[in-house]
Structure 1
Amino acid sequence: MKKMLIILLFVFSCFGVIFGAAEVRNVAVTGGCYTPGQNITVNFEVRCAAYNTTFGSIIFSADNSPHYTDDAVWTSEGPQDPPDNNGHDGGSMQAQGSNGSAWHQKSYVVKVPLWYNGTHYVIVNVAENYMQLHPWGQHIQNSASVVMAQCAVPTATHTPVPPTATNTQIPPTYTYTPILPTFTFTITETSTPTITLTPIIGEGSAIIFPEQITAGSTGNTILITYTAGETNWEPVLWGTLKLTIPEGWSPPSLTVTDPGCVNVIITNGSLLGTSINGREIIIQARDLQPITGQIKIEYGDKKFGSPGATAQGNTGTARFIIKVTPKGDAAYEIANSPIIEVVGESTFTETNTTESISTQTNFVFQQNQLNNNCDKIIFSSDRDGNWEVYEMSADGSNIVNLTNFPGALDYAWDYSSNRDKILFTSDRDGITKLYEMNGDGTNVNEIADNLLFYTDPKYSSDGTKIVFISQITGALEIFLMNSNGTEITQITNDGIWKTSPALSPDGTTIIYGASVVGGSDIFEINADGSGSPRNLTNTEGNNDECPVFSSDGQKILFVSWGPGGLKIYEMDRDGSNVTILTPELVNTSTPNYSSDNTRIIFSMFTINNKVHRIFIMNRDGSEIQQLTNTAAGYHDFGPIWKKCVITPSPTPDPTIVAVKDSAIDWLHTMQMLSPLGYPAQVHGAWGRNDNQWG
């Protein structure tokens, strides 16, 4: 259990080992009571004696004990309305300060659920560097609570007023009988009246992508985007959108492994819930803003293991009916529900191309192109019961245990392509030490065991140096040493908490995460320690961590932890042109570039399964696909690209020349040889037209 807690500290960002504990006290609710459906202010004090960041959450509980099923009203994603009651992570409450023994006063505004009554406990949970409360485990170092009673409802009272004696005169009574005039009506029948009913049209509009699909095709992901009309959706109760999937398509499902898996994303509004009724997807949302509010439905979403949706077998048009109402459940169809054109299979004329293929001289993969038969991904996992270092092909297949040391905690940090070496830590000898091994797991050598809480080691681009974090001098500072553990040099000495250093490809600078008031930012410093650190992100309220360089040194990937969770960003080397790559995902971490910088591999905590998995996406954040899928309760984390190079050949590859006399068969063979990215000019951006790998 001790080992699991230590490794999970790496799992939730790029933090090092545990050095102390976070504390909380004096929890109080402003006013001392609550009104259902109204906001309350929760006040308390926190501190972390180890100078590290304090993370925490606020929950409402019935029994004064924290459970993952309790109503979490403040988490890593900020205030929760409605509450999260199926596990959560804590958010940053107090950054590392100059005096670890000082208490810090905190106040958070949260909303009490509308259905509450009676007495509830307000519990504040805290922990150092990360906090979690999940079905598969929890990490809480300290909790404090206060009883919260429902505010009394004022009762109206009536005080009778005694009558006052007065002289009341009775007025005289008059009788008035009107004389009614007499009218004569003549009705001439000329026509039968016609009543015209105008149907109610739902507000807003919708688009669909793609607009054309092959009949009977599989592996489809359909994106339907609804944009709100001029009416603001109900802010307290809810509005409703209903989407009907046409007959003949995969039935919609909320199970992530089903072909018709549905994922819903809302912009400028709040998602309350999604349900399925036959072929109808029912989405309830609150406070969807006029014109700017959007509901995106991913039907056949493949991010979490679904094979994608199957289209209808017949050609023609497929109408995806959308009904909406800004308030309640009585929805009406919008003016133009989106349509997909379902077409037949494409036909090609086969011609003899053997001679033209055999005369080509550049069919083998170039140095900077990805090769699924050669390029690998290294990662760490506890899938076999303890943490080991693994290798897999770039499509997630052929997983091999490289360390295979039962009972030990092995964790991979980096790979050197120049030396074909993997840098990892292990406690196989009873204490955690830094090791190096060949790319295939052989020739394990100990590098250092006396670096006192060292963490986050990374190679230089040529593999001759290692940069790392250590407490050798008392604070978390950056050090540099030779790859054999000799000539240790201290780079920083300012006493500020730091994490995840990385050397630039040219070896001139080091980027890293460092604590600032209210969070942490990405900094850069000269590799020899000269000059002053330069703040590259300079954000307020977020924790920016895990920076890595692209292989050309022009771009930097990093993770930012804010109200929306852990997101992956990219920026220029000087900190400009910051772009979010995972806006619709939460809990994404440990990003790394592929060797040719065209893709990004990363870890993500999957909300449905409460575990970490390895994912891959294009450089711009598109085409996100899951690579690993271990059993529930086990984690895959920290992917590292392992580049393999094939030298260009002036002669054709015999396996390619031996294909059938057909351009189509040749393309198919190339797709099979390189499902991870044969050149776009041959066949699409990633080599296959169904967006699947291997």
Structure 2
Amino acid sequence: MKKLLSLSCISLFLALGSASCMKQVNKDDAKREVLIPYITKIGNNTDLFVTNMNGDKVQLTDDAFEEADPSMMPNGKILFSSKRTGTWQVYIINSDGTNLKAVTNDKGFNNYRPAIAIDGSILMVSDREVKPKIYSIDTDGKSPVKLTNSDDYYDYPSPLDDGTILYMSNTVSKWEIWKMNADGSNKKRITNMSVKPISLAAMPSYVRDTSLISPSINDDFASRRNVALNNTLISKAVFTARDTKGDLEIFRINLDGSDLRNLTNMPGVDSSPIVTRNGKIVFTSDRDGTFDVWLMDADGYNPINLTKEPYYASAR
């Protein structure tokens, strides 16, 4: 598979820009750059890519291994899971494709769905106890802590900027969205819906429908948590579910259980939402005929096809 930009070019692109790259980027643009990792699939091969919000793409991996679940870290690196050792494990890679590092290397069971928590630890799902549970682990792979203990299924840990964690569980005999503290305490069911959540992302309270409370919000954990704790707006959950016609759609609900909305409401498949740090929703859709990575506002308006690939591309 051909790289769409050279690694040397993307290094300049991510910094201050270069006339030799596809696009000139000035210093202010570079500071504001929001990168979106995603995966592509050609045949049985999946690879990791990254794009900016203009659709300028770079391929980060080119191998025979499966990759999934990419997400950005505050330091600009990318978390993802890969099956390169025979089981799903958690990895970190630079956004220019260098310095691939295994966070977990456990034989006999899978670790997947990684997400960076507000304290800098990594949240993940692990099936080391047969039924998948949510764990916290250091970025060096040490000090795993089990956050969910009941004999149920758990999935999609999604950290909020106030330090709490959203997740999905079938604890009440059906899949619902729950919330817990960073240490796994104070578990509380958020939803009691007629629709069944299939995948989940957290939308911080600083996100408004078409803008942010603070346009200067950035990836610094301290400033993000300060904003989250000092405003009275409600955080939200963004998730995939089937509508009454059976189509997969992107829904949004307040964490007090109010204001359930279908954000996409299109024929076909809209799934796998991710919320970017600037308040946009990244998702996977086949509305143009092939599966691509799309971007829309927090209220579902202004959808844009970011990837426009002739082959499968997905945000998850």
TM-score under structure 2 length normalisation? 0.74
| Pair 1:492 & 2:148 matched | yes
Deviation sequence 1:334-377 (CA, Å, 0-9, x none): xxxxxxxxxxxxxxxxxxxxxxxxxxxxx95697xxx5xx3322
Equivalences for residues 121-132 of structure 1 within 5 A:
none
Give the alignment of 1:598-613 within 5 angstroms. 599-606=280-287, 609=289, 611-613=290-292
Q: Which amino acid aligns with 2:312?
A: H
The whole-number CA distance in structure 2 between the counterparts of 1:619 and 1:394 is 15
Superposed, 1:643-682 pairs within 5 Å as none
**Aligned-pair CA distance for 1:444:** 1.0
> Is 1:513 the counterpart of 2:168 in the alignment?
yes
Q: Deviations over 1:589-641 (max 9, x none)?
A: 111223221x22110134x73x421111222212222222222xx310116xx
8 Å CA contact 2:69–2:113 kept in 1: the answer is no
C-alpha contact (below 8 Å) 1:477/1:495 kept by paired residues: no
Compare CA radii of gyration and give the structure with the larger one. 1
The one-letter code matched in structure 2 to 1:435 is Y
For the residues of structure 2 that align with 1:596 and 1:630, how far apart are their CA atoms?
24
For residues 48-97 of structure 1, give each alpha carbon's deviation from its aligned partner in whole angstroms, at most 9, with x where no partner exists.
xxxxxxxxxxxxxxxxxxxxxxxxxxxxxxxxxxxxxxxxxxxxxxxxxx
Distance in 2 between the 1:636 and 1:413 partners? 12
Counterpart code for 1:528? D
Q: Provide the residue aligned with 2:266 in structure 1.
A: 584
Q: Find the counterpart in structure 1 of residue 191 from structure 2.
A: 537
Decide which of 491, 494, 503 is 2:159's aligned counterpart.
Answer: 503
In the TM superposition, 1:626-637 aligns within 5 A as: 626-631=305-310, 634-637=311-314
Q: CA deviation at 1:487?
A: 0.6
Q: Deviations over 1:414-449 (max 9, x none)?
A: 2112x2221122233444332111121111111112
Is contact 1:512–1:545 with CA below 8 Å preserved after alignment?
no
Output the CA distance in 2 between the equivalents of 1:545 and 1:432: 20
Between the aligned residues of both structures, percent identity stands at: 23
For the Cα contact (< 8 Å) 1:389–1:412, is it kept in 2?
A: no
Distance 1:366 1:383, change over 3 A: closer
Counterparts of 1:510 and 1:414, CA distance in 2: 16
Structure 1 residue 389, shift from structure 2 partner: 0.5
Question: Hey, what does 2:300 align to over in structure 1?
Answer: 621
Aligned to 2:70: 413
Q: Is 1:559 the equivalent of 2:240? A: yes
Residue 523 of structure 1: aligned partner: 178
- Distance (Å, rounded) in 1 between the aligned partners of 2:174 and 2:148: 19
The residue type equivalent to 1:489 in the other structure is V
Alignment pair present for 1:382 and 2:41? yes
Contact 1:388 1:402 in 2 (8 A): yes
C-alpha distance after superposition, 1:256-311 (max 9, x if no partner): xxxxxxxxxxxxxxxxxxxxxxxxxxxxxxxxxxxxxxxxxxxxxxxxxxxxxxxx
Equivalent runs, 1:254-293 vs 2, <5 Å = none
Unaligned 5+ segments in structure 1 are 1-362, 640-694
**Matched residues in 2 for 1:441 and 1:517: separation?**
42
Change (3 A) 1:377 1:494: same
Where does structure 1 differ by over 6 angstroms across 4 or more consecutive aligned residues? none
Counterpart check, 1:459 vs 2:125: no
Partner of 1:595: 277
Q: Which residue of 2 aligns with 1:284?
A: none
1:568 aligns with 2:250: yes
TM-score by length of structure 1 reads 0.35
Aligned counterpart, 1:434: 90
SS in 2 for 1:544: coil
* Residues 372-409 of structure 1 deviation map (CA, whole Å, 9 limit, x = unaligned): xx33221001148610100123122x3211122x2111
Secondary structure at 1:380 match in 2? strand
Distance, in Å, in 2 between the alignment partners of 1:431 and 1:518 is 28
RMSD: 2.6
Q: Matched residue pairs, number? A: 260
Q: CA deviation at 1:514?
A: 1.4
